Amino acid sequence: MKKILLIEDDPNVCSFIYKGLTENGFEVAVALNGESGLSMFEKSSFDLIVLDIMLPDVSGLDVCKKIRETDQLTPVLFLTALGSAENIVLGLNTGADDYLVKPFKFIELVARINTLLRRVDNYSQQPNIESNEEDVYRFADLELDNNLKAVKRNAQEVSLTSTEYRLLYTFIKAPKKVFSRTELLEEVWGINFDIGTNVVDVYINYLRKKLEKNNMPRLIQTMIGMGYSLRESDENTN
């Protein structure tokens, strides 16, 4: 049974979500404010966190930032009454994996939760068989083994979060292809429209920092006016 931490200060919303999730087979722990939520997170293990942005003490954004200091993999789903592009961007940039704007249909909440849980299961699964060479991707000195969910640069292991991994996987499956920001939003975040977000640029920067340690050459290039591409720096790039 998957265990969910629900951090929500509205008693009515909290009761509604708690009842629905338990009826759908989830174990649910409830915190009515940010501090309590962080305390419960530190003391126990959860498969997913449902987090309201507007909390009475610590904002949900700050709660998410604190969680991401020690845990990069547990999915965080934001609930927000603030559905503007700016607020969605803020949530994604703090490390959230998805968001749902209030009011919402409960069936959509369950669908989002199940999608995030499947994504993590697929990312963390380590097969007991040897890696299938057909699912190993190489470009220059970069290697991504999609069986083991492992990445190496110049034979050195690179530790990535699930979102960073999905972003790199998108690139390495189609080297030299130019991906627009809208395409990357859909491929990696499941957002099928341009919300004016800079979350793609933020995660490109995260990924570059990890892949370019020790002055390694840049492999994810900015194609001005078009997007990003996995290619070596001397291939007509900016």
Q: Which amino acid is at 64?
A: C
CATH of the domain at 55: 3.40.50.2300
Look at residue 238 and tell me if it is in a domain. Answer: no
Residue 162, domain member (yes or no): yes
User: Are 37 and 112 members of one domain?
Assistant: yes
Residue 88 pLDDT: 74
Long-range contacts of 221-224 (CB under 8 A, 24+ apart): 223/178
Phi/psi class of residue 45: alpha, beta or left (left: φ > 0; alpha: ψ in -120 to 50)?
A: beta
Q: Rounded to 5 degrees, what are φ and ψ at 139?
A: -150, 125
Q: Do 192 and 82 fall into the same domain?
A: no
Residue 237 has pLDDT above 90, yes or no: no
CATH number for the domain that contains residue 220: 1.10.10.10
Domain assignment of residue 235, yes or no? no
Q: How many structural domains does the chain have?
A: 2
Helix (H, G, I), strand (E, B) or coil at 62: helix
Domain boundary among 95, 124, 153: 124
Domain contains 237: no
Q: Is the pLDDT of residue 129 over 60?
A: no
Q: What is the largest CA-CA distance in the chain?
A: 58
Of 124, 158, 185, the position where a domain reaches its end is 124
Q: Do 200 and 97 share a structural domain?
A: no
pLDDT higher than 50, residue 128: no
- Please check the confidence at residue 238 and state whether its pLDDT lies above 60: no
DSSP H helix total and E strand total for the chain: 8, 12
Question: Looking at beta carbons, which pairs linking 99-105 to residues 24 or more positions away fall under 8 Å?
Answer: 102/13, 104/79
Is the residue at 87 inside a domain? yes
Residues 154 and 194 occupy one common structural domain: yes
Give the phi and the psi of residue 45 in degrees, each rounded to 5: -115, 135
Last residue of a domain, one of 101, 124, 147: 124
Say yes or no: 49 and 104 in one domain. Answer: yes
The least confident of 23-32, 119-128, 142-151 is: 119-128
Cβ-proximal residues to 111 (8 Å cutoff; 6+ apart), any chain: none
Residue 66 has pLDDT above 50, yes or no: yes
User: Quick one: 158 and 117 in the same domain?
Assistant: no
Q: Phi then psi for 164, rounded to 5 degrees?
A: -60, -40
| Collapsed DSSP state (helix, strand, coil) of residue 154 | coil
Please state the rounded mean pLDDT for residues 102-119.
Answer: 89
**Domain boundaries, position 187:** 133-230
CA distance 188 to 91: 16
According to DSSP, the residues that pair with 142 across neighbouring strands are 139, 153
Phi, psi of 2, rounded to the nearest 5 degrees:
-75, 140
For residues 196 and 213, state if they share a domain: yes
Q: What pLDDT score was predicted for residue 190?
A: 72
pLDDT: is 157 or 196 the higher one?
157
Determine, yes or no, domain membership for 236: no
